[in-house]
Amino acid sequence: MLAAAASRWKVRSSLVFLGRRLLTTQDETHLSLPDSEPEPSKNLRPRKDPSSCSVFLFPGQGSQFVGMGRGLLKYPNVKEMFTVAQKILGYDLLGLCLDGPEEELMKTVHCQPAVFVTSLAAVERLNHVNPKAVETCVGAAGFSVGEFAALVFSGAMDFSEALYAVKVRAEAMQKASELVPSGMLSVIGRPQAQYKYACLQAKEHCKSLGMEEPVCSVANYLFPDGRVFAGHQQALDFLQQNSRRLHFVRTKPLPVSGAFHTELMQSATEPLREVLKQVQIRRPEINVYSNVDGKRYMNESHVRRQLVKQLVSPVKWEQTLHEIFERAQGTKFPHTYEVGPGRQLGATLQKCNRKAYTFYTAVEVTGHEE
């Protein structure tokens, strides 16, 4: 059992468990949230050596793959997590993660809960093989649905209630996606690329086809000159067909069902808002950074507002990484763990902050050692 000052994972009941409780006093840990708004001159640097702390990054939709979670079942609480998930979701999530079929796992309604549960199961593995990494964690961020895992880890939400909210969110996003042909397009641009202008050109093209209110916008800010566009399919087709003229080095359609993080997800906001009213939310016990603006969550109502706003706002991941690591001075950086399937967040970190990336580790979810 970890010492009293350590973070701990608790099984509260068959349906409500896995709330992280950071027992170390906030003054001793770091970039901690004060009881009130911080004064401008305070709370700008870690109170501890950054290299003695850790930061967790939780992946989002698109990181899922068949076989994920296979290496996690031997660790405490993981089987119980998937058992609880089956009760909440109404289907065998563990079987879907381990054996597919891939086309089912890829569906929004399935992959969001799968990534959420597998990511928190990966924390169990890290807590077993390197408990100090969990004990010294001072900040967390999650990409899109990964933000829910970050909030559970921070103690702001309970596992089962957050999973139910993820279920409602995924179903609402899937339904919104089916209203109109839409999608997402990953783009790497040259320095002279003008992304807002590209969106404007794409929308003008759609209007020439008779569309009245076309949607095309940057949905993800990943790294310098790395963007994901989202919107009506005709707009994305235009961007691909005119990629050279728009100074794009590479374009790649993403295997998702709709234009996430744009106004085309507006119909999904009300179901999520309603379910979040039913979920108990506490102030995070470590810093958790919002996708909407890269800033820290300050209180319970802030969490509720931003999680809903996130559905129709771009994921500002590049800005979030800068916010997390700007406090680190010189060559000293916290150790960063990507906790969940895939290594995409590590790749973005490498492009945003090479020095911070030298202290990066991906927590394996398939059974192989890092």
Q: Is the peptide bond before 113 cis (omega within 30 degrees of 0)?
A: no
Contact 359, 336 (CB under 8 A): yes
From 32, 54, 119, 144, the catalytic residue: 144
30 as an active site residue: the answer is: no
φ, ψ for residue 240, nearest 5 deg:
-65, -45
Residue for token pair 């998937």: 82
The whole-angstrom separation of Cα 279 and Cα 160 is 10
End-to-end distance of the chain based on CA atoms, in angstroms? 24
* Burial class of residue 369, CB neighbours in 10 A (0-12, 13-18, 19+): exposed
182 as an active site residue: the answer is: no
Token representation of residue 286: 């470590």
Per-residue CA distances from 174 to 229, 255, 268, 305 (Å): 18, 13, 9, 21
From 110, 232, 261, 335, the catalytic residue: 261
Where would I find the H helices in 242-363?
266-278, 300-310, 317-325, 344-352, 354-357
φ, ψ for residue 142, nearest 5 deg:
-130, 145
The whole-angstrom separation of Cα 263 and Cα 369 is 41
The whole-angstrom separation of Cα 195 and Cα 247 is 10
The whole-angstrom separation of Cα 325 and Cα 328 is 5
Residue for token pair 């770091």: 30
Q: What is the dihedral of CA 339, 67, 318, 57, to 10 degrees?
A: -10
Which sequence positions are flagged as catalytic?
A: 144, 261
